[in-house]
Amino acid sequence: MATTEFSHQLRVYIEDTDAGGIVYYVNYLRFMERARTEFMRSLGYGKDYIFSSDLMFVVRDVAVTYILSARLDDELDITASVVQVRGASLIFRQSVRRRGELLAQGEVTVACVDRSSVKPRRLPTEIATQLRAME
């Protein structure tokens, strides 16, 4: 089965940039976080579901390659696709593009944890099943 790729658009604001109008490197991680959040929301797993299930998703590992700079007022397309679903974690492949031009790409491993103890816990079956279908 082909990987399902989710896309989220956003514009670069001054708060995202340095004094030269170039996006500060750590903000690419923020953009990727927004895309993952919107992806999960689009599947029905928004904050209401997450909070009522007493779980959280936390970033465990990130690898990002920066290729070109985004600049103030650029319109960006941030993608997220599921690479692998494990018992208590997910691996996402993500990219940041401007008009189709690749600016940054990376993989993010997200762990599912119990909200109260912040210890790893298995993904709820419905989430795991739905995401495995997208690998």
* Percentage of the chain lying above the pLDDT 70 cut: 98
* Per-residue pLDDT tens over the stretch 113-123: 999 999 999 99
The single-letter code of the amino acid at 60 is R
Domains: count for the chain: 1
Pairwise CA distance, residues 78 & 31, whole Å: 7
Contact 76, 97 (CB under 8 A): yes
- Asked whether the predicted pLDDT for residue 51 surpasses 90, the reply is no
Domain span at 26: 5-132
pTM above 0.75, yes or no: yes
Residue 48 designated active-site:
no
* Per-residue pLDDT tens over the stretch 74-132: 999 999 999 999 999 999 999 999 999 999 999 999 999 999 999 999 999 999 999 99
Out of 16, 18, 74, 114, pick the active-site residue: 18
**What CATH number did the domain enclosing 80 receive?**
3.10.129.10
* DSSP state string for 3-36: PPEEEEEEE--GGGB-TTSBBPTHHHHHHHHHHH
Residue 1 pLDDT class (50, 70, 90 cuts) = very low
